[in-house]
Structure 1
Amino acid sequence: MLALVLALALAPAEFRVRLDTTKGSIVIEVRREWAPHGADRFYELVTNGYFDDNRFFRVVAGRWAQFGINGNPKVADAWRSKTIPDDPRKESNVRGTVAFAFAVANGRTTQMYIALSDLSATQDEQGFVPIGRVVSGMQVADALNSEYGENSGSGIRAGRQQPLYDLSGGGNAYLDREFPRLDRILQARIVAPAAMPARKRAARSGLASASGGGAPRESKKR
């Protein structure tokens, strides 16, 4: 069981996160100067254990691998309205970049995707802002199970994600029942700088505890 605090966490100027998945490890390097708000949110989520046991619920071969809806619907819903301001885009959505998904301006929460090809022609003009890039394990990202495509959740804008948030039988229970071969993140950890505990300040919306193993929330879709 995990109790989570919705608080502002200031990320280091550069840090790396290792996603240990069912296909192997993916290491993401984040540069805060690329997208300060996005980097801070990603750092906050990782240090809270939010991504542990997350499914890659939307994998389209040669396009993207999307994740970031916590498997515990209570936790996922707790973060669903915790949006962050937009960051101006400084880098293009080329292969290997990592960005937040969103549906409306200033609407990023927890859902993210890895670009499996150069998506700059479409994603740049739509306002998707890379916060970092995969520096190790891109072959792992390419190998994530894509058999379900858009059917196992799709993007935020498609409006088909509600089963992942339903408090009764939703979340991982729903995905495991309906899409049992999805790959997942076993755990996500900060690996550099080493042993950096989250520096939390006064919670902007108080304490949000969620029991049942999980982390906070996300809403809007790509």
Structure 2
Amino acid sequence: MADAENTLILDTSKGQVTIEMRPDLAPGHVARIKELAREGFYDGIIFHRVIDGFMAQTGCPDGTGMGGSSKPDLEAEFNAEPHVRGICSMARTNQPHSANSQFFICFEDARFLDNQYTVWGKVTEGMDVVDQLAKGEPPRNPDQITSMKVAADV
């Protein structure tokens, strides 16, 4: 593990996923994800929108895709990192500066999202686990993050 302070360990109902965070690309978003993870915000949250061949979205406390944390929305940190398989990027409304706690993991290349959503990390282990998440909007029996921790804290 290169940098434990910038590595996330997600235990999901399908298995473990490791994400390398990229503070060089999106320092504010990485700081928010770590802050929420350390507060236990993501523990028990479902993957509420999982579209085969596109992405798996999570981070909504009420499981509808409409909610977020009690913290203020983030300023966009759009960057040139391409939306390809394994990329982790922030979900938002049609307002650029509306990302809060929801994020998605790309199943396949989704380059049409480039420079419009904030890329903040990449799955380094466990993409096979992400591939197994129950599909749907929302899935009938959604998978969940049972625990999400910063590796430095484990």
Q: TM-score range by the shorter chain?
A: 0.7 to 0.9
Retained in 2: the 8 A contact 1:56–1:182? yes
Q: Aligned residue for 2:114?
A: 124
Q: Deviations over 1:86-108 (max 9, x none)?
A: 11313111110001101112111
Matched pairs, number: 149
Q: Tell whether the 8 Å contact from 2:14 to 2:132 is kept in structure 1 after alignment.
A: yes
Q: CA deviation at 1:129?
A: 1.8
Report whether the alignment pairs 1:18 with 2:9.
Answer: yes
Instruction: State the TM-score, normalizing by the size of structure 1.
Output: 0.62
- Alpha-carbon deviations, 1:38-69, whole Å to 9, x = none? 11111111111110000000001111000001
One-letter amino acid matched to 2:85: R
Partner of 1:135: 124
1:184 aligns with 2:144: yes
2:77 pairs, out of 67, 87, 96, with 87
* Aligned-pair identity (%): 30
Aligned with 1:107: secondary structure? coil
Give the whole-Å Cα distance in 2 for the aligned partners of 1:116 and 1:31.
19
Give the ranges of 4+ consecutive aligned residues of structure 1 lying more than 2 Å apart after TM superposition.
76-79
Query: Contact 1:19/1:25 (CA < 8 Å) preserved in 2?
Result: yes
Aligned residue identity for 1:99:
S
Aligned residue among 70, 80, 86 for 1:96: 86
Question: Residue 46 of structure 1 aligns to a residue in which SS?
Answer: helix
Structure 1 residues 72, 23: CA separation in 2 closer, same or farther (over 3 Å shift)?
A: closer
**1-side partners of 2:45 and 2:124: how far apart?**
21
Q: Does 1:107 align with 2:98?
A: yes
Q: Is 1:195 aligned with 2:153?
A: yes
SS where residue 47 of structure 2 aligns? coil
The answer to whether the 8 Å contact 1:14/1:32 transfers is: no
Indicate yes or no: 2:58 matched with 1:67: yes
What is the Cα-based RMSD across aligned positions, in Å? 2.2
Q: Which runs of 5+ in 2 are unaligned?
A: none
Distance, in Å, in 2 between the alignment partners of 1:143 and 1:48 is: 27
Q: Do 2:80 and 2:114's aligned partners in 1 also have CA atoms closer than 8 Å?
A: no
Between structures 1 and 2, the one with greater strand share: 2
- Unaligned 5+ segments in structure 1 are 1-11, 153-178, 197-222
Over 3 Å counting, the alpha-carbon distance change for 1:84 and 1:182 in structure 2 is: same
In the alignment, is the contact (CA less than 8 A) between 2:69 and 2:101 conserved in 1?
A: no
